[in-house]
Amino acid sequence: MAQPQSTYFTYATVHGPITIRATKRGVAEIAFEQTTLEGTCAASEITNTAATQIQEYLAGKRHTFNVPIDAAGTAFQQTVWTEVCAVPYGETRTAAEIAEALGKPGSHRSVGTAIRQNKLAPIIPTHRIPVANATGRQAKIMRALLALEQRNG
């Protein structure tokens, strides 16, 4: 099956540039930097809406998102991401708690892998499932998103 055509656009935020890619179905990827993503560089109604909602989130004025998403992932990843979306703003859960909630105790490593594959933070709030010993730029961004929520919650 052919992938839907996508566009991406970079928006300025108070925390630096954010690049959003969308298909006709919804937001497909968010990068916390100015970068080239798959598709054509052009703003769309969906990328504009997502950028507005993310700006509101970063300003502490939004706790949930209602922009359509087009999250590519396995059935298991989709299930994990749906469960992660149920974690309240500013709260955390462990991968083991998510696995238990899914009725798959002991699958916390697989849950952790699914969390790391999420390309839609903060819309799919995998930052609410902190990963022990996480390092690098992505881990720093996830810690910052959680700290923002805990300050504004």
Whether 63 is covered by a domain: the verdict is: no
Element (H, E) at 40: strand 40-41
Measured CA to CA, the distance from residue 39 to residue 5 in angstroms comes to 7
Residues 47, 82 within the same domain: no
Q: Residue 3 — very low, low, confident or very high, per pLDDT cuts 50/70/90?
A: low
Residues 54, 14 within the same domain: yes
**Which residues, including other chains, have CB under 8 Å from residue 117's CB and lie 6 or more apart?**
73, 77
- What confidence score (pLDDT) does residue 151 get? 93
Encoding tokens for residue 17? 């540039």
- What confidence score (pLDDT) does residue 2 get? 56
Residues 141, 80 within the same domain: yes
Summarize pLDDT for 76-116 with one digit per residue, the tens: 999 999 999 999 999 999 999 999 999 999 999 999 999 99
Residues 31, 81 within the same domain: no
Residues 98, 141 within the same domain: yes
**DSSP characters for 79-126?**
HHHHHHHTSPTT----HHHHHHHTT-TT-HHHHHHHHHT---TTTS-G
Whether 67 is covered by a domain: the verdict is: no
Residues 52, 85 within the same domain: no
Q: Residue 4 — very low, low, confident or very high, per pLDDT cuts 50/70/90?
A: low
Whether 69 is covered by a domain: the verdict is: no
Residues 97, 128 within the same domain: yes
Q: What is the pTM of this model?
A: 0.92
- What's the CATH number where 98 sits? 1.10.10.10
Based on the structure, what is the number of domains in the chain? 2
Residues 43, 86 within the same domain: no
Give the Cβ contact number of residue 33 at 10 Å: 11
Whether 50 is covered by a domain: the verdict is: yes
Identify the burial level of 48 via C-beta atoms within 10 angstroms of its C-beta, where 0-12 means exposed, 13-18 middle and 19 or more buried.
middle
Measured CA to CA, the distance from residue 7 to residue 4 in angstroms comes to 10
Measured CA to CA, the distance from residue 74 to residue 52 in angstroms comes to 28
Residues 23, 82 within the same domain: no
Q: What is the residue range of 82's domain?
A: 75-152
